């Protein structure tokens, strides 16, 4: 527990250093740290929360439901904010929308999923004007096994969400990117692609680029991602240590 808290402090320090190296056009925001707590215990999450971390990310719907509904987590009210960052199957939409303190779903990648979230959110939101925060996931590496919409299709999907999904609030783009890229070879092309994708969307839909967040960068490359303009990084093992094995 103490090690995770110490790691969190170190990650914060690295984020601040990376942010100081951003290009001037990216200095309008403070990067958000999302602590990826996949397969971590409630006790570990609370240890990191008590050290100042409020945003947590989960990859599996059932695990998120269990953790977010845990009595020890619920006692902190709305302070702990949950990001869903895994593949969302349509048959689990009702489950995810019922999660206490769900802050955002970062992995919307098609119109059918967007429509379903939009139509069902009215059953779960706490008041009439609360919208569900979402990001559109982009497959910037074009790997067939990766989820995410194609970059070419992204402007149409974002337009559909803005124009036809009044219960959703589009706040940005997310990518996972190719694992293990060596920045000695230059800037990560997946991060560059997400920047280009945002630029295309902004030009086609006349949106100020400052109004589109970029969720990119994980434990092995979050500093590089921030230097390139990431507004939100998803960091797990650099905080919690080696991830436990998932029970099969």
| pTM passes above 0.85 | yes
Structure tokens at 82: 């949950």
The domain in which residue 182 lies consists of 1-235
Distance (Å, rounded) from C-alpha 152 to C-alpha 170? 18
Domain membership flag for residue 161: yes
Domain membership flag for residue 248: no
Number of domains in the chain: 1
Secondary-structure percent of the chain, ordered helix, strand, coil, rounded to 5: 45, 15, 40
CATH number, domain at 62? 3.20.20.10
Domain membership flag for residue 100: yes
Domain membership flag for residue 247: no
Domain membership flag for residue 150: yes
Q: How many CB atoms lie within 10 A of CB 158?
A: 26
Structure tokens at 170: 């589009």
Report the C-alpha dihedral over residues 19, 20, 25, 30, rounded to 10 degrees: 40
| pLDDT tens sequence for the chain (248 residues) | 679 999 999 999 999 999 999 888 888 889 999 999 999 999 999 999 999 999 999 999 999 999 999 999 999 888 999 999 999 999 999 999 999 999 999 999 999 999 999 999 998 876 678 999 999 999 999 888 889 999 999 999 999 999 999 999 999 999 998 888 888 899 999 999 999 999 999 999 999 999 999 999 999 999 999 999 999 999 999 999 887 766 64
Domain membership flag for residue 242: no
Distance (Å, rounded) from C-alpha 225 to C-alpha 246? 28
Domain membership flag for residue 6: yes
Domain membership flag for residue 243: no
Predicted local confidence at residue 124, as pLDDT = 87
């Amino acid at each position: 527990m103490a090690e995770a808290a110490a790691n969190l402090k170190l990650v914060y320090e690295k984020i601040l250093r990376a942010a100081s190296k951003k290009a001037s056009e990216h200095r309008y925001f403070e990067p958000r740290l999302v602590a990826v707590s996949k397969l971590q215990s409630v006790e570990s999450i609370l240890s990191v929360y008590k050290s100042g971390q409020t945003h947590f990310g989960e990859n599996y719907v059932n695990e998120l439901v269990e953790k977010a509904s845990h009595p020890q987590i619920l006692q902190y009210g709305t302070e702990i904010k949950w990001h869903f960052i895994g593949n969302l199957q349509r048959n689990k939409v009702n489950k995810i929308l019922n999660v206490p303190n769900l802050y955002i779903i970062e992995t919307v990648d098609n119109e059918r999923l967007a429509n379903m979230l939009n139509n069902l959110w009215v059953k779960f939101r706490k008041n009439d004007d609360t919208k569900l925060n979402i990001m559109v996931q982009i497959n910037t590496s074009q790997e067939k096994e990766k989820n995410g919409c194609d970059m070419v299709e992204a402007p149409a999907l974002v337009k559909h969400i803005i124009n036809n999904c009044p219960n959703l609030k589009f706040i940005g783009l997310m990518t996972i990117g190719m694992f293990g890229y060596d920045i000695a070879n230059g800037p990560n092309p997946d991060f560059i692609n997400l920047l280009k994708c945002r630029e295309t969307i902004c030009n086609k839909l006349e949106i100020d680029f400052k109004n589109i967040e970029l969720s990119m960068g994980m434990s092995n490359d979050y500093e590089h991602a921030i230097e390139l303009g990431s507004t939100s990084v998803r960091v797990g093992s650099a905080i919690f240590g080696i991830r436990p094995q998932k029970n099969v």
